[in-house]
A = this chain, B = another copy of it.
């Protein structure tokens, strides 16, 4: 069977099964969460995460070199953010087409550096390689106090389901680009200059109100299913509570809007669950929207027409999902 017939999540599950038993110092290993978590004996865990982006799938031609560099760091920081970690440093392996202008590569480097500096750390290492297609493979390292680590697996029935920011913005930007509809910078930047929720993640971890968290880079629906699997719970989401920018609403008609908001990837927001009696603590940590609650099983959305199942569908490589 070909990889394209299997889909990304099934492939990762098969690869993870082949990897040997994780050592005692591995708190969270391959395929389990947004980051690997290592215990080297100190007061803090070391977190590590890697994400590979490349020209055809991730960098529309409209993106500048600076934006490519920024995004390549930002997507890795988003995974750290979802565990409540402070970034420690980022490494970037760059596969560069040999006929690239040096100025373009320097722009990319500047974008990487600006994103790293914005979050108080640096690009600490990397690799350059001659590659037909521009390819950026980043790895971010972070630290989190052991008692503050937030995993995907802690959601409990009755908790409230929350998100930071708005949903569907990056999907709307992509649609606008494809259809050549002019849209504002706020929408375009969600796609080209994603802003990792590092500060929100750290503040939410410190609030001790959050029971589980992940980022929604693959879309809300797929992320809810991931969280559901990790926490062995279900979710009921309310359509009328989903935070969507007015400019995004205007771009879609009818069912298209819900599709963009729940089944489209590219928004680097945080999805998290909060114990009901601690929601005020979470609100003090950062702006958030309550979009639903944790139930026993299933992933449902309540709409005007009644309760519908949310499919496990969103952004997956290899065309499946």
Contacts and interface: CB of A to CB of B under 8 A. Distances in A.
Interface string A114-141: 0011001111111111111101010101
A124 B3 contact: no
Contacts of A296: none
A50 B135 contact: no
The contact size tier of chain A is 35 or more
Contacts of A19: 109, 112-113, 116, 122-123
A15 B124 contact: no
User: How many copies altogether?
Assistant: 2
Given A52-B135, A105-B11, A116-B20, A124 B26 contact: yes
B96 A3 contact: yes
Given A8-B128, A42-B41, A135-B135, A52 B102 contact: no
Contacts of A92: 50
A54 interface: yes
Interface on chain A toward B: helix, strand, loop, or mixed SS?
mixed
A151 to B, nearest CB: 14
Nearest to A40: B143
A125 B48 contact: yes
Given A98-B2, A109-B18, A124 B317 contact: no
6 contacts: A4-B99, A6-B102, A8-B128, A30-B126, A46-B141, A128-B318
